[in-house]
Amino acid sequence: MHHEDLVLQRIDALIDEGQLPTAFELLLRLERQWTAWPGAAERHNRLLMVDGQQRPKAAIRKRAGAAVGFTRRAADYPGLSDAIPELLGTLAAQALQRGDNRAARHFLVQLGDLYPGHPLFQQHSAMMAQQANELLAAAEQAARDGQPGKAADLAEQAAVFWPRTPNLLPRFRPLAQRYQRLRVGVVRLPPADAEHSPEPDPAVDRRRLLTQVPLFEVDRYRNGSAYYRTKYIESWEPYDLGRRLLITLRQTRQPWETQPLLDAPAFAAMLEERLNPASAQFDERLSGYVDSVSVRSPVEVEVRFHRVPARIEPVLAGIVPTSAGAEDAAEAAAAAAFAGGFIAAESDAQHAVFRRATPEPNGLAEYHVAEVVEHVYPSYDKAVLGLRQGEVSMLPDLPDWIVRRVQVDPKLKDEMFIQQYALPTTHVLQINPQSAPLKVRELRRALLSAVDRGRILRDVVLRDPSAAHGRLASSPFPSFSPANSSDVGEKSFDQSAAMALLLAAARVTGNELPTLRMLVAQSPVERAAAAELVRDWKRVRLEVEIVDPGAVTDDDQDWDLAYRTLQIAEPTVALWPFLAAAPTAQITDLSVFPDWLRLALVDIDRTSDWGRALDNVRGLHGKLWSEVRCLPLWEVDGFLVIRKNVQGFPERPLNCYHGIERWTMQAWYPAE
């Protein structure tokens, strides 16, 4: 007799005595040495069976899990075909009793997969299907009553309740496609007062993308140029050498479009509001170009310029005719005339719901996304799990290491589109121009020299030693933008230089270097990177404190740095507000800059030739880099992960909701 056979006998004895852990240990040792020792598999199955029977009631779910594993291992083990259905049936019943339909569905699906014809499964399945059918009937009734949203809601509940309901898809499809709901997984929801928040926050940016339909928006980015489109204007024809612009407004709108229809008087009034210095919406840049606005016909407006802008589209892009942030009734009434885009309908701690301001009418052959629901997850990993389980259909801003994981996951790769954004996201530290300590050039240079940007990019932001999806930046624009100067050299990480510069700065400030305050949004990647930056600065004895943007009010300018993530498509227009840390380009905001920089920025704005304006920005790039007027960190290629049942988004989207009004969704629900 072999020693191994003696071990098997000992295992049998231990099982009989109920000493299962010791028996398992012996068995594992045996299996590690001899994977196919005769009799070992039988002992293993017996152990699993006895273990399943002996587990306490509280661990019933674990028991179920183990049992399912056991079934896969030895489906024909004596007694298993009775024990497993009983166990799963009990669990499903318990879940149903406490209203946990999802758990019930899970156990029943397992039961159905293992024993499709089992009476217990048939019984539960019929009951579940009946309830699902009732929900579907209610959904169909709601659809007949002209409540497509409610109908889609009920149909979704039915599909989630029991996806194996006979004839479910044909009944579910028209309801889900009539009112298409896109569920998006995020790690942070926009705050309640997001509409007025000037601080950096990707969540706020997402909300703006949904709720605002600007006059012009970037449609695509090619060869360093941004190409615009407008939903409001039929044509805009410059004449008189560009000094006059005849704008013909659109008179019709496709049912899927979300912008309001504007007539010429309303359009002219809107422009004049922005030209009136007494108005809250006064746009100094626009008023610097426009001389007068006149209505030529009900759909034609003539704009006369006293200075011709290099490109009119980015100047008018700041005009948002919609005011969709209609939380309170008064605002809604005021905004009714220009309701458009998606409106923030409801929100709680877990969700934010945005609905089309103008729903699509009945009777169309094809419908588009009607509602966007942002679900918040505690982490990106949980968000990916939610995507995998079908809770959400889109993840807009995954960190790079998770994107790479998704890219190699066979299931997700099969079910998802992974689309790269047209513009990389540039991470940059914006300097508050009002900050007294950061007016000292040596301190700004020290801040940049003291941080090992390459390491933080590789280890924290990308978690990829090869940094395939990221690179260091020297400007707030994308690295392939023609606004970048090729003469700008790298700034190497040099802590001794940083120390030297700090000493020089301390001499200027009277040997007192205050603790700097850096605004960082709550996004995990930004927070982690900011923490690393702070650590690097601490090494050269420079104290920087991370501040939540929500803790700083509009009037309170008590911050020195702001960690921003940007996608600047039009550097000639965006540079001025970015450097001035202001929402619009206003001359008074430039008062803190030296004359040469101020006049250079003004010149860019005044140049009527786009090429020359770009040349000027390029000329300024080296000076800004040398003067460290901002601290460009790195840029990261972003990816949009979206389920394949969603169609109609651009191949290289500019943002996560790019052209969402045209997106369509095929009816889909998770099968399990």
Partner 1 sequence: MPRDPHNSDQLTIALLPSRRAWLWAMLPTCLLFGGVLIVRAAEESASTETAAPAAVAPAAASSDTQAKDAAGSTDSPRAAVEAKPAAAKEEVLPALAPYSVLLRVHVPTDSQIDPRFRSRVLDEIATDLRASMGQMWTTTLEMAVDGQPASVTAIETLKVEDMTARYGESTYDKVILAGVAISGSAWTIAAREWDAAGRTLGPAYVETTFDARLVSALAAGLIRKSFRAVCRIEDVQEGVVIAAARGGEFPPGDPESIPFKPGDLLIPFVRYYDREHKLQQIRDLPWTYVRVKTVERARMECETVSAFRTPLSGSRRRMEIYAIAARPVFPATRLILAPRGDASDPLPGCRVELFDRLPTADDPVEDRIELLTDRRGSIVINADPTRPLWHVLVHSGKAILGRVPIIPGLVETATLAIPDDSARLSVEGALSVVEGELIDAVSRRNVLMSLTRRAAKARKWENVDKYLEQLQSVPDYDAFRERIASIELPAAQAAKQLKDRVAESRVRKMCSDLTQAASGHLDADKIREFKIEMAELKQAAK
- 617 lies in the site for partner 1, by CB under 8 A: no
Q: Which of 503, 539, 543, 647 binds partner 1 (CB under 8 A)?
A: 503
Q: Which of 471, 606, 612, 662 binds partner 1 (CB under 8 A)?
A: 606
CB 558 within 8 A of CB 517: yes
- 492 lies in the site for partner 1, by CB under 8 A: no
- 217 lies in the site for partner 1, by CB under 8 A: no
Q: Please, what is the angle between helix 101-114 and helix 80-97, to 10°?
A: 160
- 627 lies in the site for partner 1, by CB under 8 A: yes
Q: With CB under 8 A as the contact rule, which of the stretches 22-30, 31-39, 312-320, 495-503 interacts with partner 1?
A: 495-503
Q: How far is the CB of 615 from partner 1 (least distance, A)?
A: 13
- 300 lies in the site for partner 1, by CB under 8 A: no
Helix H segments across 567-609?
Answer: 571-580, 595-606
Q: How far is the CB of 630 from partner 1 (least distance, A)?
A: 15
- 441 lies in the site for partner 1, by CB under 8 A: yes
- 623 lies in the site for partner 1, by CB under 8 A: yes
Residue type, 68: V
Using CB under 8 A as the criterion, what x/- string covers residues 50-89 for binding partner 1? Answer: ----------------------------------------
Residues listed for the chain: 672
User: How far apart, in Å, are the Cα atoms of 444 and each of 185, 487, 508, 545?
Assistant: 38, 21, 13, 16
Q: How far apart are CA 647 and CA 197, in angstroms?
A: 32
> How far is CA 625 from its chain centroid?
30
- 597 lies in the site for partner 1, by CB under 8 A: yes
Tokens 């008189």 -> residue: 240
The first and second tokens of residue 84, run together, are 């497993």
Q: How far apart are CA 12 and CA 5, in angstroms?
A: 11
CB 47 within 8 A of CB 27: yes
CB 591 within 8 A of CB 410: no
- 291 lies in the site for partner 1, by CB under 8 A: no
H or E element in which residue 635 lies: strand 630-636
Q: How far is the CB of 578 from partner 1 (least distance, A)?
A: 17
Q: Which residue number, 515 or 626, has a Cβ lying nearer to partner 1?
A: 626
Q: How far apart are CA 504 and CA 513, in angstroms?
A: 11
- 501 lies in the site for partner 1, by CB under 8 A: yes
- 599 lies in the site for partner 1, by CB under 8 A: yes
Q: Which of 160, 385, 418, 500 binds partner 1 (CB under 8 A)?
A: 500
* Total site size for partner 1, rule CB under 8 A: 33
The first and second tokens of residue 229, run together, are 């489109």
Q: Which of 427, 445, 453, 469 binds partner 1 (CB under 8 A)?
A: 445
> How far is CA 545 from its chain centroid?
26
- 629 lies in the site for partner 1, by CB under 8 A: no
- 285 lies in the site for partner 1, by CB under 8 A: yes
Q: How far is the CB of 292 from partner 1 (least distance, A)?
A: 14
Report how far apart the first and last C-alpha atoms of the chain are (Å, whole number): 50
Nearest to 528 by CA among 396, 394, 377, 427: 427
Question: SS3 letters for 263-308?
Answer: CHHHHHHHHHHHHCCCCCCCCHHHHHHEEEEEEEECCEEEEEECCC
- 504 lies in the site for partner 1, by CB under 8 A: yes
Using CB under 8 A as the criterion, what x/- string covers residues 389-428 for binding partner 1? Answer: ----------------------------------------
- 288 lies in the site for partner 1, by CB under 8 A: yes
Q: How far apart are CA 483 and CA 570, in angstroms?
A: 9
Q: How far apart are CA 147 and CA 634, in angstroms?
A: 48
Q: How far is the CB of 595 from partner 1 (least distance, A)?
A: 5
Using CB under 8 A as the criterion, what x/- string covers residues 552-591 for binding partner 1? Answer: -----------------------------------xx-xx
Q: Which of 598, 618, 621, 643 binds partner 1 (CB under 8 A)?
A: 598
223 φ/ψ sector (left φ>0, alpha ψ -120 to 50, else beta): left
Q: How far is the CB of 598 from partner 1 (least distance, A)?
A: 5
Which residues of the shown chain bind partner 1 in the complex (CB under 8 A)? 284-285, 287-288, 441-442, 445, 494, 496-497, 499-501, 503-504, 587-588, 590-591, 594-602, 606, 622-623, 626-627
